[in-house]
Amino acid sequence: MKQNTPFSIILVMVLISGCSPILSQQKLQSNRQPVESATPAQPAKKKVVTPTYKVTPGSGALLIEMKPGTPRGIPQVIHDQVCRQTAAEKKAPGGDEFTNGRFERPFDQNMNYIPSVDIEKAELVRPENGWAYFTIYLEETPAPPPAVYGIQLDLNIDGRGDYMITFHAPSSTTWVEDNIKMNWDSDGDVGGQIINRSDPKGFKGSGFESIKIDTAAGKNTVKIWIRLIDKGIQIAVHEDILGGKNPKFTWQPFAEGQAFPLSQFDLNDYYSTSIAGSAIAGDSNYPLKELFGIDNTCKGLSGLTPSGTEQGVCPS
């Protein structure tokens, strides 16, 4: 955060707005069948989500200096497939839908189970007092680096991720800003030529190429906080990032045993099925190859009632 005078502060704000009802609790299942085929199409011209900066007179104190509190309210819940019961058989019981960008791969390349990256469920409590709370629950206590955790956000619900928030597991049960980054897809190529489906011929774009928040470097801090909870991580995101009060967006939690380069997203476009491998025994691409040690959920839709036309969201 750059300070121009003792009496002004630059705040990062996202010019995305939306007025819509707050979602009630949803039981979201992750057992959709993969789509067999899709017709290639050129990516639509995307309105780029561009943060702006506003100088506000102040008394020298940060306008959002207060840390997050405790989430209140009924959460939106995304339930995810887990692999503990089939781990000894070195396979996922289901939920690995490569074509749709759904990964159930909490295994290393030798198909050894990694419960610390196996997501059991995720929850969202929508903004209260300026903060939205995301919680990722795992089958085991979050692992230290090189494991990485995070959330992908789509602010205009066009099926292409806009922001990617990443962090290592914190060691504190109180709110901290340790090693949090938020990258931005400034050129709108995440998702490839076929949104929410793997591109048959592959697609290698620039991914989430622009950095917007880097707490370790002191870049645009006090907007995202994390803390350790029992077998999970809780993330507080300021409503400014989501588009202000009553925002609408999709959110997709993920866990990785080691970080995949953000330039490779979406991963099901960058990797072919034969190179990625499969966690499903009996699949022609089994076992896992280059795309391993990763789990994510379906995309939660927040801020509006599903119409059935939204791209790649969880079934309601």
Assigned token pair, 9: 């502060």
- Report the DSSP beta bridge partners of residue 232: 137, 229
What is the pLDDT at residue 311?
78
What is the pLDDT at residue 10?
33
Of residues 80, 250, 251, the one with CA closest to residue 150: 251
Question: What are the residue ranges in the chain where pLDDT is below 50?
Answer: 1-45, 51-64
What is the pLDDT at residue 7?
38
Place of tokens 């870049």: 219
What is the pLDDT at residue 24?
36
Domain layout of the chain by residue ranges = 8-302
State the virtual CA torsion across 316, 86, 99, 107 in degrees, nearest 10: 120
What is the pLDDT at residue 55?
30
Strands 51-57 and 104-105: unpaired
Phi and psi based region of residue 215 (left: phi greater than 0; alpha: psi -120 to 50; beta: remaining):
alpha
Does an H or E element contain 226, and which?
strand 224-229
Distance CA 196, CA 212 (A): 24
What is the pLDDT at residue 152?
98
pTM of the model: 0.80
What is the pLDDT at residue 49?
52
What is the pLDDT at residue 76?
97
Residue 72 contacts residue 262 (beta carbons within 8 Å): no
